[in-house]
Structure 1
Amino acid sequence: MNLTKFKAAAVQASPVFLNAKATTDKACNIIAEAAKNGASLLAFPEVFISAYPYWNWIMTPVQGSRWYEKLYVNSINVPGPETEMLCNAARENNCHVVIGVNERGQSFGELYNTNLIIDNHGNIVGKHRKLVPTWAEKLTWTGGDGSSLKVYNTEIGPIGTLACGENTNTLARFALLAQGELIHIANYISLPVAPPDYNMAEAIKIRAAAHSFEGKVFTIVSCSTISKEIIEMMKEDVPNAEELLTRKDSAFTGFIGPNGAVIGEPLIDEEGIVYADIDLAKCIQPKQMHDILGHYNRFDIFDLRVNTAPRKNITFTDDEESLQKEK
């Protein structure tokens, strides 16, 4: 059994807002920097390429419609030119990368909130589409299906990922743990428009700690920030955008160990890259007490079924085939 030790990195940063090419360039530079500092795995924020739809929260749906069009134009195809750049950067720097993107769907105008998993050889080994867009996000993204609820085996270990609010979905998290997940990537966006008594950074940490403690895994959290550029662009329609989008404790980026404790010092609100040494052997001992995937469960009582079939929008049959089935 290969239990690896490696250095991981998580970035807290904002994209070049609504500019897929420039944000991809920025991501590639960050990959090179993290790898130079010894990272074998780098986690990026949710929909880092190339924007989170903040307009859904501070504008009416009618006002936000033109911003949706801008987002679609600056989203990407998977695979496509932007993913080729990311894959080349991962390969050239011998670094695994998990990054959030706005992915164009098959229908013109359709978008998915997608996390790409790229290995150190420059291969897209998987992608996860956010299952349920949260609250106002439903104005932007289509929900994914069970086919992307997977754990991917890599040279550094088995990686799974969920985006933002999905990390509160107990069944989705268990589905990943049951597939042998040991490295969980939880990526988020800074959300200063939450209720006044809601500490977003603390909420992110609690969710990450819950998953790590329950599953005895490492959780790597990457969160975006809101740049002055984003605020200035939002002012085009919302003059008080700075007031609405500026708030302390909106972003948390860091690492949680299998015991549920934070490793090192996380980043709160500030941009930067944080690093941690990961030793997957530390996932073993905690399971002796609580292994919800084995001895500390009752699968004769509980039965979770996951539909992993890709969703089909339409099925075509000809008349002859239909007649044969009827016979």
Structure 2
Amino acid sequence: MESAPTLPTVRVAAVQAMPVVLDLEASLEKSLGLLAEAAGQGAQLVVFPETFLSLYPSYAWAHLPGGDGDALWERLWASSVEAPGPVVDRIAAACREHDVVCAMGVNERELERPGSLYNTLLLVGPDGLLSKHRKLMPTYHERLFHGLGTGDDLQVTETRLGRLGGLICWENRMPLARWAVYQGGPQIWLAPTADDSDGWQATIRHIAIESGAFVVSVPQYIQRAGFGDDFPWPLPDSEVFGRGGAAVVAPASGEVIAGPLYDAEGIVVADCDLRQTLHAKRWFDAAGHYSRADVLWPRSSP
């Protein structure tokens, strides 16, 4: 008789940090050091912010006029990542060394077709690239920098740590995108973001309840001081462009069990007992007994 799958307790780490702006090598080295630090705290899954390699085009500055768009684009391209590629190989080597799985936000480029960049979430394990997801719908100013994802990567990845799924930043507000991922029965939901608002905290708590999964939310803490004098775009007077708010949220209750961390770089760690995801879906399974897809999807136009 086939035995039921085990439901482990997984220690997750949300790494809230700022990259070395537009410097891929330095940002990668920083991320690998932080990965090792998180592993030293017992983390098995280490999650980094949206486009941590190597810059998030924040509305705090990207909407301002007067910048050198060509210079910024060229440097953004140069500090972006191919997936698969050598950067992914180095992350995988670190995952092997520390026996972890890593979720990393990157600006992704296609070396064989220099052109558009994509806001991409990579999932990397000791054996290499497990999955990648390109953001479906760049938000507002992001459309000047990122192409649109195709949606064929809205899925859950089965790992030794459980079923990992999720979306990037405001994709998490898209009901049908969430629904697509819910079909895979996620147990841990990855939510890298640039949103430091109270509304975002409400969003991730709702998703934990709706998905029946633990949510790992990871924004950047973005300081003006981290931008060099040669940055080719004007910057506002504010000293902080993103306060952070890294947090881990439990399923069913939507309780914040670690964080939120504001106004500093740091690592938020929590133990996630995946049995709780099974219990949560007993009460409310959005893609199962509570879906009613038979009457709600698809709906014909009136």
TM-score with structure 1 length normalisation? 0.83
Are positions 1:6 and 2:10 aligned together? Answer: yes
| Secondary structure in 2 matching 1:160 | strand
**How much does 1:301 deviate?**
0.5
Of the structure 1 ranges 48-57 and 75-84, higher mean CA displacement relative to structure 2 is found in 48-57
C-alpha separation in 2, matches of 1:139 and 1:213: 34
Please name the residue that 1:281 is paired with: 275
Number of residues paired by the alignment? Answer: 292
Which residue identity does 2:179 align to in structure 1? F
Spell out the pairing of 1:221-240 with structure 2 (5 A cutoff): 221-233=217-229, 237-238=233-234
The CA deviation at 1:66 is: 1.9
Aligned partner of 1:16 in structure 2 is 20
Q: Find the counterpart in structure 1 of residue 144 from structure 2.
A: 139
Per the TM alignment, residue 246 of structure 1 is displaced from its structure 2 partner at its CA by 2.8
Which one of 123, 147, 151 corresponds to residue 117 of structure 1? 123
Q: Which deviates more from structure 2 when the two are superposed, residues 275-284 or residues 287-296? A: 287-296
| Pairing 1:155-234 to 2, within 5 Å after superposition | 155-189=160-194, 200-233=196-229
Task: Tell me the TM-score normalised to structure 2 length.
Answer: 0.90
Distance in 1 (alpha carbons) for counterparts of 2:93 and 2:237: 37
Aligned partner of 1:31 in structure 2 is: 35
1:134-153 Cα distance to aligned partner (Å, 9 max, x none): 00000000011122111100
- Larger radius of gyration between Structure 1 and Structure 2: 1
- Residue 42 of structure 1: SS of its match in structure 2? strand
- Would the aligned equivalents of 2:222 and 2:243 in 1 still touch at CA under 8 Å? no
Kindly state the Cα deviation for residue 232 of structure 1 after the two structures are TM-superposed. Answer: 4.6
**Which letter maps to 1:255?**
V
Distance (whole Å) between structure 2 residues aligned to residue 79 and residue 242 of structure 1: 38
* Distance of aligned partners of 1:252 and 1:150 in 2 relative to their CA distance in 1, 3 Å threshold: same
CA distance in 2, matches of 1:274, 1:141: 29
1:242 aligns with one of 208, 222, 237:
237
Is residue 46 of structure 2 the alignment partner of residue 42 of structure 1?
yes
Contact 1:89 1:122 in 2 (8 A): no
RMSD of the TM alignment (CA)? 2.1
Q: Distance in 2 between matches of 1:241 and 1:231?
A: 12
Q: Is the 8 A contact 2:45 2:101 kept in 1?
A: yes
Question: Residue 61 and residue 260 in structure 1: after superposition, are their counterparts in 2 closer, same or farther (change >3 A)?
Answer: farther
Change (3 A) 1:218 1:234: farther
**Native 8 Å contact 1:201 1:268 kept in 2:** no
- The gaps in structure 2 that reach 5 residues or longer are none
Q: Is the 8 A contact 2:88 2:128 kept in 1?
A: no
What residue identity is the alignment partner of 1:132? Answer: M
SS in 1 for 2:216: strand
Mapped pair 1:296 → 2:302: no
Residue by residue, what CA displacement relative to the aligned partner does 1:115-162 show, whole Å, maximum 9, x if unpaired? 10012x232110000011100000000011122111100001000121
Q: Which moved more, 1:3-12 or 1:294-303?
A: 294-303
Change (3 A) 1:285 1:137: same
Per-residue Cα deviation, 1:8-57 (whole angstroms, up to 9, x for no partner): 10111000100011111111111111111100000000000001123763
Which residue type is aligned with residue 110 of structure 1?
S
2:133 touches 2:153 (CA, 8 Å); kept in 1? yes
Deviations 1:243-288 (A, max 9, x none): 2x636x7321010000211003321131100100010001122333
The residue aligned with 2:247 is 254
SS in 1 for 2:152: helix
- The amino acid of 2:291's aligned partner reads N
**Offset of 1:90 from its aligned partner?**
0.7
Give 5+ residue unaligned stretches, structure 1. 191-199, 306-327
| Alpha-carbon separation, structure 2, partners of 1:135 and 1:61 | 18
Q: Which amino acid aligns with 2:36?
A: A
Q: Provide the secondary structure at the position in 2 that maps to 1:98.
A: strand
Change (3 A) 1:75 1:264: closer
Identity of aligned residues (%): 34
Does structure 2 retain, via aligned residues, the 8 Å contact 1:186–1:221? yes
| In 1: Cα distance, 2:20 partner to 2:227 partner | 12
Question: How far does residue 235 in structure 1 lie from its aligned partner after superposition?
Answer: 6.8
